[in-house]
Each structure stands twice: as structure tokens, then as C-alpha cells.
Amino acid sequence: MEMRESKIINQGLEDEMAMWGYRPCLWKMVLVGIGAVCSGGLLLLLLYWLPEWGVKTTCTHTSLRDARTLLLRSTDEFRQWFRAQVHVMLAPGKRPFDSVDLQSTAQLPNGDGECTLAAIHEERYGVFPHIQPVQIHYFTLHSTKYYWNDVMHNFEIYKGLEDVKVSCASIHCDHSAGLSKPLQDYRRLFFEENEIAVRVPSILKLLIKEVLNPFYIFQLFSVILWSAEDYYYYATAIVFMSVISIATSLYTIKKQYVMLHNMVAAHSIVRVSVCRGTKDVEQAMSTELVPGDVIVIPANGMILPCDAVLVHGTCIVNESMLTGECVPVTKTSLPNSGEDGASTYSMEEHKRHTLFCGTHVIQTRFYTGELVKAVVVRTGFSTEKGQLVRSILYPKPTDFKLYRDAYLFLLCLVGVAGIGFIYTIILSIMNQVPAKTIIIESLDIITITVPPALPAAMTAGIVYAQRRLKRVGIFCISPQRINMCGQLNLVCFDKTGTLTEDGLDLWGIQRVEDGSFSPPEVEAAKENLVDTPFVSCMATCHSLTKIEGELSGDPLDLKMFSATGWILEEATEEETALHNPIMPTVVRPPKHVLPETNQNIRLTQNLELSALSSYEIGIVRQFPFSSALQRMSVVVRRLGEKHMGAYLKGAPEVVVGLCKEETVPQSFTETLEAYTRQGFRVIALAHRQLESKLSWHKVQSLNRDLIETNMEFLGLIIMQNKLKEETAGVLEDLRQANIRTLMVTGDNMLTAISVARDCGMIRSHERVIIADAVPPKDIQPASVTWHYTENPAHNTNNHNQVVEIKLEEGGYEAQPAQLDQSYHFAMSGRAFAVITEHFPHLLQKLVLRATVFARMAPDQKTQLVEVLQSVDYTVGMCGDGANDCGALKRAHSGISLSELEASVASPFTSSTSNISCVPNLIREGRAALITSFCVFKFMALYSIIQYLSVTLLYSLLSNLGDFQFLFIDIAIILIIAFTMSLNPAWKELVCRRPPSSLISGPLLFSVLTQILTCMTFQVLAFLLVRQQSWYEIWTPLSDACNVSHAGLSYSLNGTSPHDHKNIRNYENTTLFYVSSFQYLAVAIIFSKGRPFRQPSYKNWPFMLSCVGLYIFLFLIMLRPVPAIDRFLERVEVAPPPVRRCMM
């Protein structure tokens, strides 16, 4: 019934959850209360750890509409449970964008018969008078509010203006005037204050949450039990270590909260200018903003407190906080006509017009007498920045096989403890032991079998690895992922800025003259080219701007513009008035490159200026580069001319499709392939003259599709993108380590394949098959075609050979089949999208052999990572952070080469801007993973060894002493566990990968073998000591050595009052020594070195600890020291002649 009445929220998103409704049940709550009292509060703890049982045992199931408590479960593989309380709010309308009459100003009663809103709500929202209020049910989870929708019969999120599916033109018409104050107050009921509030919890709250961890509760139980057994010193030592552990944990958590709070709080609350109607502008705090408000962007810029879409003006924005790309981005106003104007506004599709929260508007471009305005789209945690902060505040749990197996192994230990528990009870009853002693000793066996220090010991290896990574310039914000790096078997690389240099060098240009390509030219800044459309396009078709006198913008644009030698000038606000109504950016050539015919003519000053100005070009409008469209364009006017022109640049295959066919040379395809096969990055240019009737105002409202058509092809810019020095060597290391590498880039297919060959990702003898897919059109279904690219090792005549490939359920079948030849698939973003939609059964097979993914959009990179993970790859992603944030976050191990704030989206950030960090990270991950295995096996064996010792001693109604426990746990176990984690990573990657599971044959065999060995030696020692001629039931006078030591004076009946636990006996001392040596032996055996870690003899703290403890144990065994004997409650187990023989 519950499953039938469940609902899904956030369907299709990362945080999708199933939800059930409950209402409180009095009789269940009474029963739970009685159970809590009877169990001493343990039942409440159990219900706290298991929220689903906490709800089910205190509530009864009901419909979501009537629910007062909600039980939610994530639908991902983690199946996490959450509990949320439903609240009731009173408002004039049911939804934030409903049309409600809000003209009056009398007080609205905030409350109903069941609950009353707080006074603060009354003060803030009680401004709606005569309207009959409606009740709205809502709940809050992970800083997000969900409101009940009577139509959907489900809860929904109100994100912002996008909820009403408004068109771009409608934003201009209906939302650009601003909101009235009552309407703003009404919407704030739903969207609350515009603030990304990272509340720093109090120390007390953090302490309670930390102490209620099952690990610390178990330790508390153990300490109480040990105190009941009079093990005060040992209990005190454990309490002391726990306090230090809790204090360290609280300090770290508090510090992280404070850092995140400071990062978010910086510039998050500012004063803004808000429009009220067409002309009224008032100052307000940014916390008062709601979706639909219109804010004015000041000329000197600001830090955006919300997500907003530009409706007037242009902004230069630094988005490094979100993207990791420090290059300023030009944001233009939202289109308001044509197809673009009619399209529904989407932040993803219209991000070139959207200002994101937390980004820095450096400066604005505005028109005389007009303000730069933006409509608020999202506020608070719904913004892009808010979503990023939420992902940090509420991360998904780390899914790693090691941790799951560790829990299974602990369950096995609990099973072993259960056997010991039953054995102890039976043995004690048979020996007529008092009931109190039976209870204490049988529970004690559980605390021995499940080591309380296990979590801390396993974390040590990760902490040490994190410190080593920091020393080589790799910073980590998710330490648990370090172990995952040890299992990476595939790494995706971005191309530009990751495998290749950031900067591009201009190799040359190839212009089109009379419908055919002219020979390549190296220089673009020649006098005979200054007046050509080609150079004019290079000088104008960009998004460069001057910031503090320096040109700034995309590196490709910078290189292209600097190659022309032209000068960019941006008019001041005062100069703008002279060019009413536009303030254009002007580019012009320097005087020395003007044609000599103009320079040699003697002119008056006015004529000279007139001649110079004839080469000046004003940029009237920009259509910024779009990764989806793969192009950008500008509308320009040469000063002195009446008509305007348009220039376009972009991916050659895209630009050609927008040009008149007769202007494109017939050799275009061959020329382009010749360059891309050599690894050059090729940009195509085009131009058209616009109709003379077009005015500036009309141009500002034109759709870019109307501009970017019927162009004349101008030619190609050939850019050289060199490989970074480290790239080829690192990829070869990864290949030899049997780690697969892929290239995922937004660049041209053939360029990407060429770079893949140059860097060794595709080897010289291997062939590449391009998978091309075409979407369905008219009656033609979607189809996939395959063809070889040119193989340098083979005849070039076959480079377009079509190959038939059948991808059946069983695998690949290629014809013509060359079974002995290795091959790789390559596909474009378009093909990836078509295959994903129409041939999903092929996708997983393709990615098994695909190496190059070209022209991939940012969201497609993320989809590719998900597909690779679905075929059981442990995926790493390495990128520069610009368009890779989604993939970096989705991968098992994301490595950002950007040091900017966007690195918070990536688990790892490298301060070195090359991929040499990848093998370093994998080596450290492997070392940390092996360390975790070693420590886990050591701690498991430690508990089993001690369990065996105590079980054998229980047969004598004896036990280990307080200080014996203390010596073993502190001097041996703690020191060894933390020093054996110090082994550095092995210096090179090997082709073997460390095991990922504890539940595997070799590992279980090694553990079980050691358990049997230790058990055999302990049982033998226990039995053999009784067979010795000098053995007798121990009393203070029975130790032969004690007779000769005058310093030892025990009373004859001292055993009774001082040794009522029967600690001082030959069996105890024998097992103490044997088990101590076993702890050290097991540590050395399990401290694995190569091929993943440096050998243990290079870990001098570990070796020093082992040697020191061995020497100490041998000394006190062979040369007894009275003080130590008394401290450890030991006796001598051999007479002097035997000891002399042993020495």
C-alpha cells in the first residue's frame, strides 16, 4: 500500500526521491516512550540512526495531502532515508506567480486553527488585508522548500521565473518594468529572503551530532563496561583519545563550515537599485529580491546577488567562481523578436544573456540615457551558486566497494563475538560464576572483537596521502575519493589547455579570392591586406574588451586580433553622447600599416583624419560565441558609410553551411582536412553586407539567424595548438599501467584525432573509425555510418573507405575485417546525441573502443562519464575547469587544472597546469587503498588475536590485566596502526591494479591463514606452559626468581585481595608475550610494499617502532625488571638457567 501511494519528487534529477506521508499516532508514541525508558534511551538512539523506523514506529500511513510527517528515500544506489516535517503557511494565493489582488494594505491574520506562523512572518508578510487566506503545506529539505500542489497531488519546487515557461519576448514585454512592493512581498512568502545562508552550527550542536555517532556510542558502552571491571586506567586512556578525536573532528568540521560561510557570505548581501515601474528606481537590500524584480547594473560593475537575465545593455563578466575560466565573458541582452524571442527562456540555452549569482560584473556597456537592466530569474539556493553550495553542504555518500566490504567484515566479527559471548556465558555458569561477572565478561568479549579504534586507524592512510598530495601541488576537498583514485582504469582528458597549451599561435591565413583559395600567408598585418574584408573580420569578430587599459578576453580572440596589429578603442561615457544613441567599440589599423598611397599624399590635418577614419570600424552589435552553435558574429559599420555589415567566425563546417554555395571553394573539404590532419585548429570567416535600410535600433532587435545567413566565405585562419611537454610521457605511463585514456573536446574531429595521434593516445599503426549518425528526417529513419580516417601508415587513397560494422548483442563484427589490426572509434557530439537517443543499445558497446569524442557540449561530457560508469569503468576526468565542471563533478575522480574558485566543484585541484598530476594522484590513491587494506587486516587480526587470548584465559577464570590491555592497545596497536600507514607511494605506475574488495579469495585466504597460525601458537603455548617441570598454580612465592629478588615482597595471602581476577598466572604471562609478538609479526606481514607502496624498510617510523617494541619485549621477558613486572602484572615463566640458555 505504501509503495502504491508513494510519489516522486525531483524526477529525473540528481536528488530524485520517493516520498510517503504519515501522521502522528498517539498509541505508537506512548509505546516508543515506554520502550525508551526501559532501554535506557537506546531505543531512541536506534530510531535516530534509522529515520525510516523512527517514522514508522511513531506514525501511521496517510495521504500526502494530509501528512504531517514525510518519509523520503533517494532513488539512487545509496537509498538514503530522510525525515521532514510538514508546515502550514497562510498566503493570499496558492502559487507565487498567480494573479492576486494585492492593492489594499491592511493586516492579514497569519495562522489557522492548527498552527500559527511566527511573529516574524506576521511582521514581514502581514500586508494583505481583505483577501481570504489559503493554507499552503510545505516542507524543507536540504535548504530547499517544497510546496503542495493540489493539481499534481504532489509537492513541487518553485525555482524562479522559469517555472511559468515565459518566452524571451514576454520577459521584455511583461517583466521588464519591475514589481510593485506588495507583489514583491507576496512572492517573498514563497521564495523567502534572497540569501545563500550557510549557518555555522554551534559547538554544542556539532558535539551532540558527533557524540551520537554509533562509533562513539559503542566506545561509551565499552568504557562503562571496562570501568565496571575496574579497568580504570585503560578506560581513562580510551576516553582521553576519544576526547582528542572528537575535539579534532569538531575543529575540522567547524573550520570547514566557517570557510564555506565566509566564501558564500563575501559580497552576498549588497545594496541594489530596484526598478518600481518604468522610471522609479529605489535602493534596497539584495536579500529583498524575488524572481521578477528588475535590478540596475551599475557602470562600475558589482557582484551579482542572484541569477538575472539582461534585458537592456551589455555586461563584461568574470565567471571564474562558477566555471574556473578567468577570461571575461560578454553578456548581451536577451533577444526580443523573431524565433529567438518566441523561444521559451532557459538558463542553460540563454546563458550568454544570463548573469549568474556570485559572478563579478566588471563593467557595463550602456546606451545614452538608458540603464543596464536585468530581470531577476532565481534567488537564494535556487541560483547556480546556491546549487553549488548545496552540493558541498549535502554531498552524496561515497560508494566504494572497500567500505561496503568493511561493514560485511565487521558483521563477521560481530558473529565471532556472538560465539564468544555464548561460550563465556556457558563456561561461567559451569564454573558457578556470579551473575554480575557473567554479564560483564560476556559483554566484554564483544568490545574486544570489534575494535573501537578501527575507523580512526583506516582514516590515517587517507590523511597521510592527502598531505603528500598537497606537497606536490594537488589539493583535495573530498578525502574519501583518494582511495577511489587507486581504482581508476580510465581517464578522460579535455584537449585545449589540458593536453595542449592554453595559448594558440597563428600559423597562417588562407583567403578566398574569386571563389578559390589563394596560397597560405603567414602575416595578416600587411599593408596590402589592411582594407580587405578578411582582416576586417579578424579585427572585429571577437568579444575583447579593455579592463584597466589592458585587452582582455578569449585567448583565441586575443591572438587573432593581435595578429592584425589593429588598435581597439572604447569610448568614454562623455564621448558616447556625441554618437547618440550608441557607444560603439571602435577598431582601426595603426598609421604605419595604412597603404602608402594615402600616406604620401599631402593632406591638410582634416583630410588626414578623414582618410584615417575611413579605416575605422565601429562594432554595433555582438552575438557572442555559443558552444551549441559553434560560432559568433558581429554587426559593424565602417565610419563614414551608411550601410552596415556582418562578420562571422566559427567552426568551418558550420560557417560553410551559412554561406552562399558559389563563394565556397570547391577544394574546401580537401584543404580543411589537410590542415586538421596535421593537428591545426582551423577557424572559418565569412561576411555579408546588410541592407542599407537597417537602422541601429532595428539591428539591436534582430534575431542572429537573420544576420547569419547568405554569407560570403572569406577564408580560413589556421591556429597551431602545441602539445604540452609532459603530455606524451604521461599518457605513455598511463598506457603502460593499463589505464585507458580518452579525449573529450569541443574541437574539430580531425584536429582531435591528429592530436590523439601526436600524444600517443592513438598509436601510429592503429586505425580510426569515425561513427557518424544522422537524425531522422522526413521519412528517413536515423542512421549510423562508419568510415576510416586516413591512416598515416597506409596509402592515403583509402582514407574515406566506408566500413560496415555490425554491433550485435555478442559484440563487434567489422567488414572488411582486419582482425589482427587495432582500431579506435571516434564520434562527434552530434553523433553522440543521435546514438544516445535512437541507438541506445549501441552506445555502451561503442564507448568500449571509442577514444576521441569531438565537438562535445559540456552536458554531453557529463553524459559520457555516466555511460562509461555504467559499463563498470572507474572514471577519472581531467580538465581545465572551463566547460568541464559537470564532468569533473560526476566522475569518480575529477581533477581540475584551474586554481580558481570553480575548483570547489572538483574533488581534486592541481596547482600545476599539466596532466603530470594524474599519475601522481593515481599512485597516491593506490598507496592509500593498499594502506586501508593493510590497516583493516591488521586491526581485524588484532581483535581476533586478543579475542583468542581472552577466550583461553576465561577457561581459567582469568583475563588480561588493566595495564596489559593498556600496553597492547596504546604502545603496540595504536603506534603500529598509525606508523604502518606512512609508507609513501611507489615511484611508478604498474600495470596491476590493487584489489577493490575485501571479500576476495586471496585476501580472505591470507587473513584466515594468519588467524589459524595465531590460534595454533596460542593454544600450543597455553598447553605447553602447563607441561613444564617448573609449572605450578601461581602464588606470590611460587616464582623462583622472586625469591632471589629482595625488592619483591608480597604477602603470602596477597593474591586474594589484590589479585581477585586471577591476573598474575603463568598462562596469562605466556599468552601476553605470545600475543604481543603476534601483533608485531602480523603488522610486518600485512605491511605490503611494492608494487603500490614503498617497501616497509623505508618507512623508518614503522621500522623503529617494530624494532623498539621487539627489543623491549625480549628484554622484559629475558631480564625481568621488578617495576615493569608489577606494572604489567606479569610473572616469570622460566627459571634463570632456561633464560640464560635462551639468551
Q: What angle do CA 407, 413, 418 make, to 5 degrees?
A: 125
CA dist 34 and 44 (Å) reads 11
**Residue 804 zone, left/alpha/beta (φ > 0; ψ -120 to 50; rest):** beta
Strand 490-493 with 740-744, pairing: parallel
- List the Cα angle 463/467/470 in 5-degree steps: 135
Instruction: Evaluate whether 684 touches 651 at the Cβ level (below 8 Å).
Output: yes
Strand partners, 813: 806
Angle at 895 between CA 894 and CA 897, to 5 degrees: 145
Q: Which residue has the cell 609532459?
A: 726
Three-state SS string over 630-649 comes to CEEEEEEEECCCCCCEEEEE
Task: Compute the distance between CA of residue 390 and CA of residue 693 in angstroms, rounded to an integer.
Answer: 52
The Cα–Cα gap between 180 and 187 comes to 11
Say how far apart CA 939 and CA 449 lie, in whole Å. Answer: 10
- In the block, residue with C-alpha cell 545594496: 271
Angle (deg, nearest 10), helices 858-870 and 829-838: 50
Closest CA to 446 of 418, 481, 478: 418
Q: Cell numbers 552540493 label which residue?
A: 391
Residue 414 has a CB neighbour count (10 Å cut-off) of 13
Long-range contacts of 50-58 (CB under 8 A, 24+ apart): 50/81, 51/81, 51/82, 51/83, 52/81, 54/83, 55/22, 55/83, 56/22, 57/28, 57/31, 57/32, 58/24, 58/25, 58/28, 58/29, 58/32
Alpha-carbon Rg for the chain, nearest whole angstrom, is 37
Neighbours of 924 (CB within 10 A): 24
CA dihedral 395, 397, 399, 401 (to 10 degrees): 140
1120 residue type, one letter: P
The whole-angstrom separation of Cα 81 and Cα 58 is 16
Name residue 249's amino acid.
S
Report how far residue 496's alpha carbon sits from residue 746's, in angstroms, rounded to the nearest whole number. Answer: 9
State the cell numbers at 990: 604498474
- Cell numbers for 500: 595542449
CA distances from 681 to 754, 758, 785 (A): 10, 14, 25
Distance CA 188, CA 171 (A): 20
CB atoms within 10 A of CB 991: 10
Task: Find how far residue 54's CA is from the centre of its chain.
Answer: 31
- The CA-based angle 344-345-350, given to 5 degrees, is 125
| Among 494, 880, 969, 1059, the one annotated catalytic | 494
Distance CA 682, CA 686 (A): 13
> Mapping DSSP to helix (H, G, I), strand (E, B) and coil, where does residue 689 land?
strand
Cα–Cα dist 237/811, whole Å = 61
How far is it, in rounded angstroms, from Cα 68 to Cα 805?
58
Grid cell at residue 780 = 528517413
**494 in active site:** yes
Spatial distance between the Cα atoms of 887 and 906, rounded to a whole number of angstroms? 9
What SS3 state is found at 425?
A: helix
Apex CA 364: angle with CA 362 and CA 366, to 5°?
175
Looking at the annotation, which residues are catalytic? Answer: 494
